[in-house]
Amino acid sequence: MKKKFNTAPHPTISQVKIIEERNNFPISWLNKQGFCEYGIYLENVKGIEIKPTKSMVEGTKVHATLEANFREDAEPTTFDEMLETSKTGEILSRELPVMSKQHGIRGFIDEVWMTPDEFVIIDDKPGTRAYSSSINQVFGYCLAFKEMIPEKRRIVASLKQRGTENIYWASYFDEKAEKDIINLINRMHRLLEGEIEFKATDNPNKCRSCRFNTICERKMDF
Ligand code: SF4
């Protein structure tokens, strides 16, 4: 888990790192990409700073509270120890850091249930609607997690309603899910390399709720 990699910040794109000579972006961008790629362009390529929305601030607060509650009873351990222990029992990990050097992605998984049969990768979301963008994000975590484990235990992707125990969507991270998410990640890398253009949404409802709508030259009328 504590492997050392050659890492440097990208010279022009915020939050992108260059790890072992490959661009590496936050897995949460797979969610933003599904909302509107152009938002990533405005924020991270053009460097426009806009205050976070109320729901973003609340989400961060809820995360911090859950993490603090979890830490009160949690026992510190290493990733390898967790893998070993979970061969015979169940363990829950929160805010597990994951990184795929191969696919150029990194992030923190909200929760991972490790059991003798499977790993359940859980992403907390507000609400109970399984948007394809949320699914892409959790599949991104599954892909990065898969690269970190030396074995072939089944991986399940799931979405949980924030602040509750309600898992409202779950699916195996199978071959098709893996292939599809690799294709999407490759598209993101092509955007970051400037090989293709960031696409703006054509959904006015998204523009209405977007925090960039006061400065975005590509916004739809709403
Ligand atoms: S205003 Fe609309 S087009 Fe512009 S970044 Fe936001 S969602 Fe995308």
- Nearest-CA residue for atom 2 of ligand 1: 207
76 pLDDT band, cuts 50/70/90, is confident
Distance CA 99, CA 147 (A): 8
**Mutation to probe ligand 1, out of 32, 35, 38 (largest number of atoms < 8 A from CB):** 38
Q: How many other C-beta atoms can be found within 10 angstroms of the C-beta atom of residue 157?
A: 27
Does residue 203 surpass a pLDDT of 70?
A: yes
- Nearest-CA residue for atom 3 of ligand 1: 219
Distance CA 218, CA 199 (A): 9
Asked whether 40 and 190 are in contact (CB, 8 A), the reply is no
What are the backbone angles phi and psi of residue 220, rounded to the nearest 5°? -85, 155
Residue 220 CA: which ligand 1 atom is closest? 2
Which helix (H) or strand (E) is 95 found in, with range?
Answer: strand 91-100
Beta-bridge partner residues of 92: 113
202 Cα: distance to centroid of ligand 1 (angstroms): 9
Average pLDDT over the chain, rounded to whole? 93
- Nearest-CA residue for atom 4 of ligand 1: 219
Distance CA 208, CA 219 (A): 9
Does residue 80 surpass a pLDDT of 90?
A: yes
**Mutation to probe ligand 1, out of 218, 220, 221 (largest number of atoms < 8 A from CB):** 218
Residues with CB under 6 A from ligand 1: 36, 38-39, 42, 200-201, 206-207, 210, 212-213, 216, 218-219
Topology of domain 7-209 in CATH is Lambda Exonuclease; Chain A (3.90.320)
Distance CA 30, CA 179 (A): 15
Does residue 148 surpass a pLDDT of 70?
A: yes
Distance CA 222, CA 213 (A): 10
2 pLDDT band, cuts 50/70/90, is low
pLDDT at site 70: 67
Candidates 41, 19, 39, 53; CA nearest to 147 is 19
Asked whether 128 and 120 are in contact (CB, 8 A), the reply is no
207 Cα: distance to centroid of ligand 1 (angstroms): 5
CB environment 33-43: b (16+ within 10 A), e (fewer): bbbbbbbbbbb
29 pLDDT band, cuts 50/70/90, is very high
Tell me the two tokens of residue 190.
């092509």
192 Cα: distance to centroid of ligand 1 (angstroms): 18
222 Cα: distance to centroid of ligand 1 (angstroms): 11
Domain boundaries, the chain: 7-209
